[in-house]
């Protein structure tokens, strides 16, 4: 066996060998650079698949990130047709082993990396203790929320929209020009406006306001007035003529009206709550007047005559009221006298005490007239006399005869005769089965 002599030819001294080694190193570097996005060879990865609604502009090699940090790359994008006729995409991702296992409640989202259309896949790990195994597929329900592509945003600004925006900018510019102070005043009043707007919005949101019926009602109203659209158009033409005429009095008359409107509204806001009870009573009064108002058509002639004849009486009312002044003053003094209530109470006690007696004696006078006849007979009894005095005058009235009369025993009421005594008229002194007498 021979040995290489010191100072002899080296392995690096061969140009062919050095060139071959250099070409091999370049080939390995290019291979590693080309496959870097798919993962380095001989490096273990965590393969996971995911269903997404769209993989537009997403290509193999795009990054897969968690929290902005790259944890893998997209290895394959495959479209899949669904049963309903739609299509989705299935992504095959190669992730770092540090991600394994990814929780099953994780979400996936395709996001834009630049305005040029470069995309990447964003994973948001969940909190579940159960994770995906290598080769599992994330369902389509985990691909939320749906991303909005930049082209979709740009497509919203079509020609009509751009013209509308241009017109709005011109209108706003002309409307806001030179009104900086007014804008500042509006901004300063907005907190108060929103504070007052809150109860208004609460009332409108209440189901009892039936706000949702407003717009269908407006639609019906618009449909009703559609046949008179030409008349309405002519109305606006006439309004233009009217406004041109009003332009001559716009300053200062209309201007002063507008200036005085806010204080007037403030007064209304302060006064309307106070007037509310009066309005409620007025409404109740109007409801109570409805029955009377219903009969007014038939009673108006009589009421008109009453008003006509009442005019002379009303003309004499001031003189009568003047003469009654003394009477009412006397009544007031009588009412203010502290002894009057005491007397009224005593009179009430007297009437209460006499009530049983009067209730017992009332039929004696109202039915038989005993009291009047007694006083009349007493006056007749002592109506005759001479210079020495009066004497008593009397007459005996014989009892009538007839069946069951008082001249003898009877088994039934008296029958027959026609005198007042037989009919029981007038006060009599009775003796059963005997005579009776009457004072004349």
Cα–Cα distance, 428 to 159 (Å, whole number)? 125
Q: Cis ω on the peptide bond leading into residue 288 (within 30° of 0)? A: no
Residue 388 phi/psi, 5° resolution?
-90, -15
Cα–Cα distance, 155 to 271 (Å, whole number)? 55
With CA atoms as reference, report the closest residue to 427 among 386, 376, 384. Answer: 376
Residue matched to tokens 């290489």: 4
Confidence tier at 438 by pLDDT (50, 70, 90):
very low
Confidence tier at 28 by pLDDT (50, 70, 90):
confident
Q: What is the pLDDT of residues 254-278, one digit of tens each?
A: 888 888 899 999 998 988 889 999 9
Q: Is the pLDDT of residue 38 over 80?
A: no
Q: Is the pLDDT of residue 308 over 50?
A: yes
CA dihedral 224, 225, 227, 231 (to 10 degrees): 160
Confidence tier at 19 by pLDDT (50, 70, 90):
confident
- Domain residue limits, the chain: 44-153, 221-267, 370-437
Share of the chain above pLDDT 90, in %: 6
- Mean pLDDT, the chain, rounded, equals 80
Say how many C-beta atoms besides its own lie within 10 A of residue 180's C-beta.
9
With CA atoms as reference, report the closest residue to 50 among 116, 8, 99. Answer: 99
Please tell me which residue, 37 or 209, carries the higher pLDDT value: 209
Q: What is the pLDDT of residues 376-414, one digit of tens each?
A: 777 777 777 777 777 776 666 666 666 777 666 777 766
Confidence tier at 32 by pLDDT (50, 70, 90):
low
Q: Is the pLDDT of residue 439 over 70?
A: no
Q: What is the pLDDT of residues 47-104, one digit of tens each?
A: 888 888 887 778 888 888 988 888 888 888 888 888 877 888 888 888 888 888 889 8
Overall average pLDDT of the 200-222 stretch: 87
**CA end-to-end span of the chain, whole Å?**
198
Cα–Cα distance, 95 to 299 (Å, whole number)? 99
């Amino acid at each position: 066996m021979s040995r290489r002599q010191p100072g002899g030819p080296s392995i690096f001294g061969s140009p062919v060998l050095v060139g071959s080694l250099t070409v091999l190193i370049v080939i390995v570097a290019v291979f590693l650079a080309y496959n870097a996005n798919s993962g380095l060879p001989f490096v273990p990865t965590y393969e996971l698949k995911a269903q997404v609604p769209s993989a537009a502009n997403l290509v193999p090699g795009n990054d897969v990130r968690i929290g902005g940090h790259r944890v893998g790359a997209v290895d394959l994008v495959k479209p899949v047709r669904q049963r309903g006729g739609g299509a989705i995409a299935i992504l095959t991702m190669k992730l770092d082993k540090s991600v394994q296992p990814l929780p099953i409640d994780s979400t996936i989202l395709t996001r834009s990396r630049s305005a040029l259309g470069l995309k990447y896949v964003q994973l948001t790990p969940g909190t579940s203790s159960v994770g995906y195994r290598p080769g599992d597929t994330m369902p389509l329900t985990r691909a939320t929320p749906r991303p909005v592509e930049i082209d979709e945003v740009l497509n919203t600004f079509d020609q009509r929209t751009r013209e509308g925006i241009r017109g709005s900018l011109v209108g706003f510019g002309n409307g806001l020009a030179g009104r900086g102070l007014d804008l500042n005043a509006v901004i300063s009043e907005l907190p108060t406006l929103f504070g007052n707007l809150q109860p208004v919005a609460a009332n409108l949101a209440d189901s009892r306001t039936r706000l949702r019926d407003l717009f269908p009602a407006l639609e019906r109203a618009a449909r009703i007035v559609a046949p008179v659209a030409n008349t309405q158009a002519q109305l606006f033409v006439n309004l233009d003529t009217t406004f041109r005429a009003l332009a001559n009095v716009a300053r200062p008359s209309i201007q002063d009206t507008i200036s005085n409107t806010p204080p007037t509204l403030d007064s209304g806001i302060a006064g309307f709550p106070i007037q509310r009870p009066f309005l409620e009573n007025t409404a109740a009064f109007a409801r109570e007047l409805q029955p009377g108002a219903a009969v007014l058509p038939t009673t108006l002639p009589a009421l008109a005559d009453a008003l006509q004849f009442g005019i002379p009486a009303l003309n004499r009312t001031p003189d009568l009221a003047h003469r009654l002044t003394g009477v009412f003053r006397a009544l007031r003094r009588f009412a203010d006298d502290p002894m009057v209530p005491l007397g009224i109470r005593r009179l009430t006690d007297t009437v209460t005490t006499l009530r049983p007696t009067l209730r017992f004696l009332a039929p004696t006078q109202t039915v038989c007239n005993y009291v009047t006849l007694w006083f009349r007979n007493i006056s007749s009894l002592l109506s005759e006399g001479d210079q020495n005095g009066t004497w008593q005058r009397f007459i005996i009235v014989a009892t009538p005869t007839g069946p069951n009369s008082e001249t003898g025993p009877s088994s039934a009421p008296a029958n027959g005769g026609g005198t007042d005594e037989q009919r029981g008229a007038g006060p009599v002194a009775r003796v059963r089965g005997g005579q009776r007498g009457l004072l004349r």
